[in-house]
């Protein structure tokens, strides 16, 4: 089978005749058809993730076809796979939080992923997806599961005012999800083309934090009350600091970045406004909700698709992102 392995930072090797994976008990063999490139993959490709051991087959946002019958799955079923790898027996797993497993891993990050023809995955992480979707569209179910997790964690209420920092594919997915829950949503970014995309996807306001006064925009957007729901989809301590300031009484701040730099967060603000600040990691069984979004055409994955490359050209796909990160949203590899 074909496979693409990251062998050194910024160097992916295409292997035309890699050995096929063997399935263990309870594992479904999936023939991969489309795999999205995530920001995480780009960090790994650049050599910025010390927890990733090379060589590594990356790729965790994928769709494909069941290769051999197993349990409720039949050969040819169109499926997507939740990439959270969990043990199933630790305290967090037993409590129902596989994404907080004591040995949690992600396919394509700490273990081999989907940039190859065949992958063996646990049956319970496999989901059939609506027939109306293409393989490329279905590969975007996983990034929307990150958005779904953020929204679930922050407990949105219809009519509330939200602000999403960052209009990349995840930020735009969060925007779409929050609109589905009935919130008014403002989006902030530094790139005008991304803000235009946010408007196209229903943002009530889209503000360029470089050229506009964001604090003033928030004031008028919330009639001086503050923001009920704030998401940092960028991962910056500065954003966390301004989020705490701009939050409304009872507000929630949800973060999903991996920035180790401490933020200066005054306890006084947290207490006076009874704020909730929470992290989110990957997704905790959010695929069913996202499948409903996709099946009902409630979200618009096509709007975030920038380009499609075949597996043989995967190195060029990563270079495309590296050369023009601002104007590139989602790139998908097809097999
Ligand atoms: Zn991802
Ligand atoms: Zn576990």
Cα–ligand 1 centroid distance for 40 (angstroms): 6
Confidence (pTM): 0.97
Cα–ligand 1 centroid distance for 143 (angstroms): 6
Cα–ligand 1 centroid distance for 13 (angstroms): 21
CATH level 3 topology of 3-128+300-334:
Quinone Oxidoreductase; Chain A, domain 1 (3.90.180)
Cα–ligand 1 centroid distance for 137 (angstroms): 15
Among the bound ligands, name the one nearest to the CA of residue 103.
2
Mapping DSSP onto H, E and C, the string for the chain reads CCEEEEEECCEEEEECCCCCCCCCCCEEEEEEEEEEECHHHHHHHHCCCCCCCCCECCCCEEEEEECCCECCECCCCEEEECCEECCCCCHHHHCCCHHHCCCCEEECCCECCCCECEEEEEHHHEEECCCCCCHHHHCCHHHHHHHHHHHHHHCCCCCCEEEEECCCHHHHHHHHHHHHCCCEEEEEECCHHHHHHHHHCCCCEEEECCCCCHHHHHHHHCCCCCEEEEEECCCCHHHHHHHHHHEEEEEEEEECCCCCCCCCCCHHHHHHCCCEEEECCCCCCCHHHHHHHHHCCCCCHHHHEEEEEEHHHHHHHHHHHHHCCCCCCEEEEEC
Cα–ligand 1 centroid distance for 144 (angstroms): 9
Cα–ligand 2 centroid distance for 102 (angstroms): 5
Cα–ligand 2 centroid distance for 104 (angstroms): 7
Domain borders along the chain are 3-128+300-334, 146-279
Cα–ligand 1 centroid distance for 198 (angstroms): 20
Cα–ligand 1 centroid distance for 37 (angstroms): 7
Per-residue pLDDT of the chain (335 residues; tens, 9 = 90+): 999 999 999 999 999 999 999 999 999 999 999 999 999 999 999 999 988 999 999 999 999 999 999 999 999 999 999 999 999 999 999 999 999 999 999 999 999 999 999 999 999 999 999 999 999 999 999 999 999 999 999 999 999 999 999 999 999 999 999 999 999 999 999 999 999 999 999 999 999 999 999 999 999 999 999 999 999 999 999 999 999 999 999 999 999 988 899 999 999 999 999 999 999 999 999 999 999 999 999 999 999 999 999 999 999 999 999 999 999 999 999 99
Q: Domain 146-279 classified CATH 2.40.160.10?
A: no
């Amino acid at each position: 089978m074909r496979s693409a392995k990251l062998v050194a930072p910024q160097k992916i090797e295409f292997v035309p005749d890699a050995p096929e994976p063997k399935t263990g008990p309870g594992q479904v063999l999936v023939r991969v058809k489309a795999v999205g490139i995530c920001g995480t993959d780009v960090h790994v490709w650049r050599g910025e993730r010390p927890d990733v051991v090379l060589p590594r087959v990356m790729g965790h946002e994928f769709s494909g076809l069941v290769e051999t019958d197993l349990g409720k799955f039949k050969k040819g079923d169109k499926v997507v796979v939740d990439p959270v790898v969990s043990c199933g027996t630790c305290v967090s797993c037993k409590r129902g939080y596989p994404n907080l497993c004591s040995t949690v891993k992600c396919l394509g990050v700490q273990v081999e992923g989907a940039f190859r023809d065949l992958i063996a995955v646990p049956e319970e992480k496999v989901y059939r997806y609506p027939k109306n979707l293409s393989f490329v569209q279905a590969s975007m179910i996983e990034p929307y599961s990150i958005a779904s997790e953020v929204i679930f964690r922050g407990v949105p209420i219809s009519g509330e005012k939200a602000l999403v920092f960052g209009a990349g594919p995840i930020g735009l997915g969060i925007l779409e999800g929050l609109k589905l829950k009935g919130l008014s949503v403002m989006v902030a970014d530094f790139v005008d083309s991304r803000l235009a995309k946010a408007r196209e996807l229903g943002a009530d306001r889209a503000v360029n934090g470089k050229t506009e006064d964001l604090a003033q925009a928030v004031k008028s957007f919330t009639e001086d009350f503050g923001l009920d729901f704030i998401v940092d989809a960028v991962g910056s301590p500065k954003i966390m600091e301004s989020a705490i300031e701009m939050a409304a009484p009872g507000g929630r701040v949800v973060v999903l970045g991996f920035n180790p730099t401490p933020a200066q967060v005054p306890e006084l603000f947290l207490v006076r406004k009874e704020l909730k600040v929470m992290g989110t990691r990957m997704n905790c069984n959010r695929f069913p909700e996202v499948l409903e979004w996709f099946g009902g055409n409630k979200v618009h994955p096509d709007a975030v698709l920038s380009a499609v490359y075949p597996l043989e050209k995967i190195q060029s796909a990563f270079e495309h992102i590296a050369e023009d990160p601002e104007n590139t949203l989602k790139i998908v590899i097809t097999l």
